[in-house]
Amino acid sequence: MNRRKFLKGSALLSGLLTLNPGDFFASNVQGAPDPKKKAKNIIFMISDGMSSGTLAMANLYSQNILGKNGNWMNLYHDNRVSRALMDTASASSIVTDSAAASSSFGGGFRVKNGVLNVGANGEKYIPVWQKFKKAGKKTGCVTTVTITHATPAGFCINSDSRNAENEIAEMYAEIGFDVMMGGGDEFFNPLKRKDKKDVYDLYKQKGYQILKNKNDLKNTEKGKKILGVFNSGALPYSIDRTHIPELQTTPSLAEMAQTAIDQMKDHKEGFVLQLEGGKVDWAAHANDIAALIHDQLAFDEAVKTAVDFAEKDGNTMVIITTDHGNANPGTIYGAEATKNFDSIASYRYTNEYILNAIHPDFNLQQMKDWIYETNKISLADDEAQHLLSFYSGLEKQEAGLYNYKKLPFKAYSDIQKKHNSVGWISMDHSGDYVEVAVFGPGKELLPAFIKNTDLHYLMLKAAQI
Query: What DSSP line would sit under 408-426, residue for residue?
Result: -HHHHHHHHHHHH-EE-S-
* 15 has pLDDT over 60: no
More confident call, 353 vs 30: 353
Q: How many helices (H) and strands (E) does the chain have?
A: 19, 14
The whole-number pLDDT of residue 30 equals: 74
The whole-number pLDDT of residue 27 equals: 54
Q: Measure the CA–CA gap between 289 and 406, rounded to whole angstroms.
A: 18
Q: Looking at 23-37, 71-85, 304-318, 375-389, which range is the least confident one?
A: 23-37
The whole-number pLDDT of residue 28 equals: 64
Helices (H), 137-278: 150-154, 165-175, 199-205, 238-243, 253-264
Contact 414, 296 (CB under 8 A): no
Band (31; pLDDT cuts 50, 70, 90): confident
182: left (phi over 0), alpha (psi -120 to 50) or beta: left
Q: Which of 158, 32, 149, 168 is nearest to 455 (CA)?
A: 32
Q: Which of 188, 194, 191 is nearest to 231 (CA)?
A: 188
The whole-number pLDDT of residue 394 equals: 82
The whole-number pLDDT of residue 342 equals: 98
Count how many residues are written for the chain: 465
The whole-number pLDDT of residue 249 equals: 96
Mapping DSSP to helix (H, G, I), strand (E, B) and coil, where does residue 28 land?
A: coil
Taking residues 302-322, what's their average pLDDT? 98
> What is the helix (H) or strand (E) element at residue 326, kind and residue range?
strand 325-326
The whole-number pLDDT of residue 6 equals: 38
- In sequence order, the β-bridge partners of residue 320 are 45, 437
Contact 253, 277 (CB under 8 A): yes
Taking residues 313-334, what's their average pLDDT? 98
Over residues 145-155, the pLDDT tens digits come to 999 999 999 99
* 4 has pLDDT over 80: no
Taking residues 346-370, what's their average pLDDT? 97
346: exposed, middle or buried (Cβ count in 10 Å: 0-12, 13-18, 19+): middle
The whole-number pLDDT of residue 10 equals: 40
Which domains are delineated in the chain? 23-329+428-463 (3.40.720.10), 349-423 (no CATH)
* 459 has pLDDT over 80: yes
- In sequence order, the β-bridge partners of residue 139 are 272
The whole-number pLDDT of residue 13 equals: 38
The whole-number pLDDT of residue 34 equals: 85
The whole-number pLDDT of residue 364 equals: 96
Band (24; pLDDT cuts 50, 70, 90): very low
Separation of first and last alpha carbons in the chain = 54
The β-bridge relationship of strands 330-331 and 82-87 is: unpaired
Q: Measure the CA–CA gap between 273 and 251, rounded to whole angstroms.
A: 17
The whole-number pLDDT of residue 240 equals: 98
More confident call, 79 vs 16: 79
* 21 has pLDDT over 90: no
* 23 has pLDDT over 70: no
Give the mean pLDDT of the chain.
94
In the chain, the percentage of residues whose pLDDT exceeds 70 is 94
Over residues 154-209, the pLDDT tens digits come to 999 999 999 999 999 999 999 999 999 999 999 999 999 999 999 999 999 999 99
Over residues 260-293, the pLDDT tens digits come to 999 999 999 999 999 999 999 999 999 999 999 9
